[in-house]
Chains A and B, each alone.
Chain A
């Protein structure tokens, strides 16, 4: 299994509080991703990173920010949590091999976030 950990694994917080989720990888992969998974919507990309300090927005980036100061860590911050951000959050990684034509994606175990 790819070495990806997420912390915390479960969190309950209140509306309006900031929350930071951490993704840590030991594979030295270039790309890292944050997704949220909700019933009826499947997996939706929030933000992704293509290198240290290089990030870009995904489909559902409003209300979220990210940072990547080291290859192995990718942080997702909910600046002011809302109930609509209650979800399961997954981190994923992929390598950049052979000019980017072989980018198998591996997932972390997920973080279940509840915003009351």
Chain B
């Protein structure tokens, strides 16, 4: 069973700060890694997908990186805003087309 770990479980930062969320995985044969955002009581919204052949993807203020050799991915959020407050989850796609999820980092951006 693949393991995906996200540390810290919760993070609180002042508005405007740049921040990094971490995701660690044990699958050495990862196909891709996907970052999601989840607002309370809502479904998951896809943010970024990094294929195994790529090292990073960018969308607006978000940048995700993938280092297969160390089993790590990071999500960088620039100039954080209160609207960024949510839970962020990572998921890796392994063999059998099954996705394995971390338990998420709950982010609070304080105005």
Which residues of A are at the interface with B, using a C-beta cutoff of 8 A?
31, 33, 35, 40-45, 48, 50, 56, 58-59, 90, 92, 94, 96, 100-110
Residues of B within 8 A of A102 (CB): 32, 49, 51
Do A110 and B102 touch (CB < 8 A)?
no
The answer to whether residues A103 and B31 also contact, given A41-B103, A45-B98 and a CB cut-off of 8 A, is: yes
Do B99 and A101 touch (CB < 8 A)?
no
Q: Which of B34, B97, B103 has the most CB of A within 10 A?
A: B97
Residues of B within 8 A of A106 (CB): 46
Which residues of B are at the interface with A, using a C-beta cutoff of 8 A?
1, 31-32, 34, 36, 42-46, 49, 51-53, 89, 91, 93, 96-99, 101-104
Residues of A within 8 A of B42 (CB): 109-110
Do B52 and A101 touch (CB < 8 A)?
yes
Do A107 and B44 touch (CB < 8 A)?
yes
Do A105 and B103 touch (CB < 8 A)?
no
Do A45 and B99 touch (CB < 8 A)?
yes
* CB of B87, distance to nearest CB on chain A (Å): 10
Cα separation A31 to B98 with both chains bound (whole Å): 10
Do B89 and A104 touch (CB < 8 A)?
no
Which of B45, B93, B101, B104 is within 8 Å of A103, CB to CB?
Answer: B93
